[in-house]
Amino acid sequence: MTTTSEFTRIAEWPATERPRERLLEAGPQALSDSELLAIFIQTGTSGYSAVDIAREMLERHDGLRGLLDAQPEALLHQRGMGTAKVALLRAAVELGKRYINSSLRRGAALTSAQLVRDCLRAKLRHYPYEVFAALFLDNRHRVIRFEEMFSGTIDAANVYPREVVKRALELNAAALIVAHNHPSGVTEPSRADQHLTIRLKNALALVDIRLLDHFVVGDGSPVSFAERGLL
């Protein structure tokens, strides 16, 4: 029996429900992870649309992060995925990483708080232990350097304010944005996080360097200390 391709089936959906048309109309931010992935997959298999396959992949890999971190061998065993699509997916992931890295290159201007959030989340979310990082900025808030400075257990990182100050002076930084991840995924700042932030702010102020913000990275959008009034 001849079957109709799943790509054709999606094309028969109402225009307001088709992922590709919705992306062009409302922008990629309006689509779910499975819908974005379905656009990449393009076609389904017998009995499964591209959206069905995308949902199955996300469930099997425990979400988008697990899927994008998966090894090629694991993806090749997924319904609807062959060598060409796996290669395209990994290329897309690498392009995304390079885009994020280009935003933190020396001399780059940080144009929005959301850009900072996206960059820090891409840099720190994947670690299974806590990592403390600093974004060193000049007096026009352009990037001098991004550095991962301290790492610790899954519970805490040992952060030494004097080392942060020392490095800021070496780089002739005028301001800093610092961040650390919570491997648990919970972005709520702890009391220890708040105490550390005050210590860092006071230590940097002694040498006339501003601490602009401290972000906690986990699942979802990183939490800003400045926006919470904690800085």
pLDDT digits (tens, 9 = 90+) for 123-152: 898 888 999 999 999 999 999 999 999 998
The CATH number for 214's domain is: 3.40.140.10
Same domain for 61 and 173, yes or no, is no
> What is the residue-averaged pLDDT of the chain?
84
Mapped onto helix, strand or coil, the DSSP state of residue 34 is helix
Question: Are β-strands 175-181 and 210-217 bridged in parallel, bridged antiparallel, or unpaired?
Answer: parallel
H or E element, residue 195: helix 191-205
Same domain for 152 and 184, yes or no, is yes
Same domain for 24 and 53, yes or no, is yes
Q: How many domains does the chain have?
A: 2
Domain that holds residue 95: 6-101
Question: Are β-strands 175-181 and 223-224 bridged in parallel, bridged antiparallel, or unpaired?
Answer: unpaired
Same domain for 49 and 122, yes or no, is no
Write down the pLDDT at residue 6. 43
More confidently predicted of 214 and 13? 214
pLDDT by residue (tens digit) across 95-115? 877 777 776 777 677 777 888
For residue 209, is it within any domain?
A: yes
* Domain end call among 101, 130, 151: 101
pLDDT by residue (tens digit) across 24-75? 888 888 888 888 888 888 777 777 888 888 888 888 888 887 888 888 888 8
Same domain for 89 and 142, yes or no, is no
